[in-house]
Structure 1
Amino acid sequence: MSDGSRDDLLELDEIDRRILEILANDPRSPYADIADELAEHGIDMSSEGVRRRVTSLLENMTSFFLPRPERNSWEIVLVTVRTADEPDAKQEVFDAMSDMDFWFVAEGFGTVDLYAIATAKSNLEIDDLLVQVRGLESVTEMDHFIETDRAVNIRNYLPVY
């Protein structure tokens, strides 16, 4: 368990970021191909060195796969929720949404109380899910966003500190 010290933080360098960028574009890239691509950026590393880096990175990260909407026949929806200002309201809605067809539900603080992501076969399926969320007693406001396109810049997602 983390004690919150700086020693527990994953520190990414430029090499790690480049490796993750290559894997984001092609997760099946052989280590030798990754080493060759790193060499194009002036980074000299053997395929064994790449393997060690990848192993370490994967031990310290979770998988987060997002299908590309333009390549698939399903929809991706992001739902944001505000809950009643009552004891346990946020937790009750979080638990209920976690039991729905969302594959990601997050609680935090800010302008929304919860957000969730679901993948659905159709807008009708999304509508059914939204009706379920709206029907929760402690939900006071809900917004949603259906993704139609995406641009990913792994360099902004994984900054080097």
Structure 2
Amino acid sequence: MPSHDKDDVLEIDEIDRRILEILANDPRSPYADIADELANYDIDMSSEGVRRRVTSLLENMTSFFLPRPERNSWEIVLITIETIDKANSKQEVFEAMANMDFWFVADGFGTIDLYGIATAESNAKIDDLLTQVRALDSVAELDYFIETDRNVNIRNYLPVY
């Protein structure tokens, strides 16, 4: 597990969070428009100041796309896996899922062993993916959730420390 000290942590303040909130709603917002919108929150910043903030944020973050299901004709599924109690079973399933149609696969610890997120053009394609995962010898239990709606609150995703 990676260790992080205080210097490695990206610190997001209220201004950064407001900028990200604006960009989440319109990623093509000009810096001057962002500065104008920040003024609604009593944040006085020039477009050049906004540009510097955005540049710094983008250097320290990865892209994370949040597709809106109501605007698309495809489905998003979250699959959780419990593996059998056998040496390397978790790793075997992790590697197999990483080679399937998942765009995100995570290994960790807790009440589940692994989870994956996939996008599919239909529920039939999701069913095919579930069948592939269930067929893995090291899978003990599989649960899934098909997303039908979403509410994103960037303020909760990026807390100010």
TM tier relative to shorter chain: over 0.9
Task: Report the CA distance shift for 1:3/1:131 in structure 2 as closer, same or farther (over 3 A).
Answer: closer
Percent sequence identity is 79
Deviation at 1:4, TM superposition (A): 2.2
Deviation at 1:8, TM superposition (A): 1.1
Question: What do residues 103-126 of structure 1 show as CA deviations (whole Å, max 9, x unaligned)?
Answer: 000111111100000000000000
State whether structure 2 residue 152 is matched by structure 1 residue 152: yes
Q: Secondary structure at the match of 1:86?
A: coil
State whether structure 2 residue 2 is matched by structure 1 residue 10: no
Query: Aligned pairs, how many?
Result: 160
Deviant stretches of 4+, over 4 Å: none
For 1:16 and 1:72, the matched residues in 2 are separated by 29
State whether structure 2 residue 61 is matched by structure 1 residue 57: no
State whether structure 2 residue 68 is matched by structure 1 residue 68: yes
For 2:7 and 2:145, the matched residues in 1 are separated by 38
User: 2:143 maps to which residue?
Assistant: 143
Q: Which runs of 5+ in 1 are unaligned?
A: none
For 1:4 and 1:145, the matched residues in 2 are separated by 32
Q: Which runs of 5+ in 2 are unaligned?
A: none
User: 1:38 maps to which residue?
Assistant: 38
For 1:96 and 1:135, the matched residues in 2 are separated by 11
For 1:151 and 1:80, the matched residues in 2 are separated by 21
User: 2:27 maps to which residue?
Assistant: 27
User: 1:132 maps to which residue?
Assistant: 132
